Copies of this chain bind each other. A is one copy, B any other.
Amino acid sequence: MRSKSFDGMVCSVADLLAAVGDRWGFLILRDLVLGLRRYEDFRRSTGVTNTTLSDRLKHLEASGVVRRQRYQSKPDRFEYLLTKKGEKIGTMMAVLAQTGANLEDNGISAPPMRFVNKATGAEVTWAYIDQSTGEIVLPNAVNVEPGSGADELMRWRLSHAKESPPEK
């Protein structure tokens, strides 16, 4: 059985958001994916206050996304690492970055990050793939249906949307 999170909402998007917490959580995750591990580095990278950073790191630890590991004794010092769950979320960080880089339709694109294939050095972008044919599927050719874990509210969302009148 899947767990209910985010105020009991049965939705995988809600589960993901509950695990990450908020946008600071996403930015800490971004940093972890990039290879940062230390509190002071997250501070510098995000510019967030100590209170917020401590709080968000605790949230990420509590939701099983991050684990804390001692790397020095006397005095004890800790670093933060992605758990397996955190790594799963981390896999989509390039999707967030590429989508964000593409938002302003001003014809000039100067992305802060480039994603390349380690093996070939070629640019990497994300896409949807048809599991039966292996072909790329354009986003507007993807349909959403209730899955085996759908509750009544999810079925309502999906059926109600289809009943809505077409855009004028």
Partner of A27, one of B13, B111, B124, B149: B13
Within 8 Å CB of A71, what residues of B? 165, 168
Partner of A112, one of B30, B37, B129, B147: B147
Partner of A161, one of B23, B35, B101: B35
Within 8 Å CB of A37, what residues of B? 164
CB atoms of B36 and A13 under 8 A apart: no
Q: Give the Cβ gap from A110 to chain B, nearest Cβ, in Å.
A: 3
Partner of A22, one of B22, B125, B126, B148: B22
Partner of A116, one of B85, B117, B145, B158: B145
Q: Tell me the chain A residues, 87-146 only, with Cβ under 8 Å from chain B.
A: 88-105, 108-120, 122-133, 136-137, 139, 141-146
Q: Report the bound CA distance from A119 to B142 in whole Å.
A: 9
Partner of A95, one of B46, B126, B167: B126
Q: Give the Cβ gap from A12 to chain B, nearest Cβ, in Å.
A: 3
CB atoms of A31 and B129 under 8 A apart: no
| A75 contacts partner chain B, Cβ-Cβ < 8 Å | no
30 contacting pairs across A/B (C-beta < 8 A): A1-B110, A2-B101, A12-B98, A12-B113, A13-B97, A15-B103, A16-B99, A17-B96, A19-B100, A31-B161, A34-B157, A35-B162, A36-B164, A45-B156, A69-B168, A85-B105, A95-B126, A111-B149, A113-B147, A114-B147, A115-B142, A117-B137, A117-B141, A120-B132, A122-B131, A123-B130, A124-B131, A125-B128, A125-B131, A126-B129
- 6 new A-B contacts at CB < 8 Å, known A15-B103, A94-B128: A13-B27, A18-B23, A22-B22, A34-B157, A89-B103, A113-B147
